[in-house]
Amino acid sequence: MSLSKKSIHRINKAVETQDFEKDSSVPLPPPTLSDTEKTPKNPLQKSRMIQNLPDYLL
C-alpha cells in the first residue's frame, strides 16, 4: 500500500477511537482492522472533487 493510503488508514483509525467530528449523530463503526477495507467510500465527495480536475487527468 502506498504511503498516502497508509496515512489515510492511520487517520481513520485515530478518528475511530475518538470522536472528532461535529456530527456525532453518524454512528461510528467498531474500530476493527478489517473494517477499514469494507466501508464504502463517500460517493458524493468523490464526484464533486473529481469534477474540479481537468479532463486529461481522469
Q: Which residues bind to other proteins, rule: CB under 8 A?
A: 2-12, 14-22, 26, 28-29, 39, 41-42, 45-46, 48-50, 52-54, 57-58
Residues 1, 8: contact at Cβ < 8 Å?
no
Nearest distance from C-beta of residue 56 to other proteins, angstroms: 9
Judge residue 37's burial from the number of C-beta atoms within 10 Å of its C-beta, 0-12 exposed, 13-18 middle, 19 or more buried. Answer: exposed
Nearest distance from C-beta of residue 33 to other proteins, angstroms: 14
Nearest distance from C-beta of residue 39 to other proteins, angstroms: 6
Distance CA 30, CA 46 (A): 24
